[in-house]
Amino acid sequence: MKQIAFKKDDVICRQGEIGACMYCIRSGSVAVYTNYGTDRVRKLAELKEGEFFGEMELIENEPRSATVVALTDGTLLDEITENTFLDYFEQDPVKVFMILQQLSQRLRKTTKDYLEVCHAICDVTEQPDGVPMDPELQARLLAIQNEYMMFNMSGLRFY
């Protein structure tokens, strides 16, 4: 497995690039951003030693969904390619389990955030304040509200 060192503020990978690997943080820390380098930049997370990033690109073979930047000098990453990842199943199943735990935690948080937004949309669409809503926006909000209601009626709970 290849190890790569980065200095503070080094860009490790960029949103939109095709990625063929994921990374495990051996030491140091990184920040995950969308729209990095623009006036719409948004920090999504800070990750530290033992955490992973880039797994979506490795598994799905899609462009990177965010830009990752080193926060500390001497940030050391393990580069995990598809072959390395597949080897983990035989040689290091604990590492595979850790990756799956992190994926599950991220999915749980995303689902919780999504449901909170859906709930807020329901509140907005149910409490008109007398100002007419744009019909297209109202249709989109009602579609999300319906999706939320169907999800709630399914009885599934993620948090």
Query: Spelled out in words, what is the top-level CATH class assigned to the domain 2-91?
Result: mainly beta
Count of residues in the chain: 159
Q: What is the pLDDT of residues 65-79, one digit of tens each?
A: 999 999 999 999 999
- What pLDDT, on the 0 to 100 scale, is given for residue 127? 52
Neighbour order of strands in the sheet with 67-70: 11-13, 67-70, 29-34, 42-48
pTM here? 0.72
Domain boundaries, given as residue ranges, for the chain? 2-91, 106-153
Predicted confidence band of residue 158 (pLDDT cuts 50, 70, 90): very low
Q: How far is Cα of residue 33 from the mean position of the Cα atoms in its chain?
A: 10
